[in-house]
Amino acid sequence: MLIKLHLGAVKRTRWHEYLTRFVLGGLITAMTGWLANRYGPVLGGLFLTFPAIFPASATLLEKHERAKKRNAGIASTIRGRLAAALEARGALLGAIGGMVFAALVWKLLPRTGLTATLILALASWLCVSSLLWYARKHHARLRSVFR
């Protein structure tokens, strides 16, 4: 299956939904900084993995899928919840990639420049997560692991 970019999805999302994500993301980032300042980087660092995107994305996904089905004349559907479950499974793979991101930053940052470290770590996160997604999609044994 090809990976596609659906630009039409921009119009589906309302301005207040974008605002909610912005405020949530901003609050979590500010809170992480405050916690690290007050209790040290070891505790503050835990919040770098706080699920800042998933709750809003899953809620919107279910809402949009339900609206699509309602427009098609289907009143009740679990399709939105199943789509959110798919998104959650993708997030699980993204979190495994996130471990690679964190390990690279931990080991490289004290010796290498910030920009180079972050670019390499981000590229590694995307590669590892995408490869896991691809492998899960095409190999039955992996599908049973990441059910």
Burial (0-12, 13-18, 19+ Cβ within 10 Å), 8:
exposed
Closest CA to 103 of 45, 34, 53, 52: 45
Tell me the closest approach of the beta carbon of residue 54 to another protein, in angstroms: 4
d(CA 114, CA 98): 17
Please count the residues of this chain forming the interface with another protein, following the rule CB under 8 A.
88
Residue choice 68, 69, 91, 120 for contact with another protein (CB under 8 A): 91
Tell me the closest approach of the beta carbon of residue 20 to another protein, in angstroms: 10
Q: Is 122 in the site for another protein (CB under 8 A)?
A: yes
Closest CA to 63 of 28, 5, 16, 26: 16
Tell me the closest approach of the beta carbon of residue 72 to another protein, in angstroms: 18
Tell me the closest approach of the beta carbon of residue 144 to another protein, in angstroms: 14
Q: Is 135 in the site for another protein (CB under 8 A)?
A: no
Residues in 17-76 at the binding interface with another protein, rule: CB under 8 A: 18, 21-30, 32-34, 36-37, 41-62
**DSSP structural state of residue 55:** H
